[in-house]
Amino acid sequence: MSTSVDGLDVVTDGGVLRLTLQRPEKRNAMTSAMFDGISDAIDLAVADDAIRVVVIRGAGDHFCSGAQVGGAPGRGAGTDDEQAARPRTGHLQRTLHASPHRMVRTLFECEVPIVTGVQGFAAGIGNSLALAGDHVVATRSARFWVPFVTRGFTPDSGSTYLLPRLIGLARAKEMILRGKQVDGERAAQWGMVNEVVDDDALDDAVEAVVQEFASAATVSVGLAKQLMFRNLSGDLNGALEQEGLAEELAVRSDDFKEGMRAFGERRDPDYQGR
């Protein structure tokens, strides 16, 4: 099944949901419709037992250059009349919460693994979208960039939550406070991404991970993902309690039973995602 939503291609391919940013002439700068399209597609994937992995790509030479200037919530409108009619205080906070920040929450909270393949620029919210992947593959020439402060405003899209946890506070300050770009090689060294490859190897590298997740124990993968996300800001006792609850669910899945059978029979498991 394939649909298009104002710059976003949504394709269901067996157990894989493929989301492709389709504005290469704008370096895949994102509009509100694209934010909402990703959120809606992920919500549907979570509700569909057949979907076992999501992959997010950008068409053309770049992954995503951020929010479209002039079209993103709160960044200014297109006409003189619109610019003259300044929105009242709180407008930006509300629109961020309703559209781009909803997308970020949806990506982290969904119990489906996400693979992202990054080439060219991943800037602003494009950086957050790329790093929301549970497995991030980047080309050596990719550029991760958080330019908010250097343009006179403050970070959004979870940048101040995610980057310090991924790469440490000192490196996060380099990216956020000074707007330093990080290429694919350094991103791998810093632990921002899982894998760095030559530009012409990106498609194959992404697809290998997608197929691995597509044949994995989907229930267990989703529960484990949620445990790690929730316990980023929790304590040990809370983590142990959540792990116990997740284990209680996982051992009731068909995939758990298949995993135990395969172990006893000394063969590879044939997981069905249930």
pLDDT by residue (tens digit) across 150-168? 988 888 889 999 999 999 9
Q: What is the pLDDT of residue 89?
A: 59
pLDDT at 79: 39
pLDDT score recorded for residue 247: 80
The answer to whether the CB of 138 falls within 8 A of the CB of 206 is no
What does the pLDDT read at residue 73? 41
pLDDT value, residue 76: 37
Which residue, among 69, 72, 143, has the nearest Cα to 101 in the 3D structure?
A: 72
- Determine the pLDDT at residue 78: 38
Segments in the chain below pLDDT 50: 71-84
The pLDDT, as a whole number, for residue 86 is 65
| Per-residue pLDDT at 250 | 87
Joined tokens for residue 235: 């304590």
Give pLDDT, residue 70.
Answer: 60
Q: What is the pTM of this model?
A: 0.86
**Buried/exposed 51-78: b ≥16 CB within 10 Å, e otherwise:** bbbbbbbbeeebbbbbbbeebbbbeeee
Check residue 74 and give its pLDDT: 40
Q: What is the model's pLDDT at position 233?
A: 84
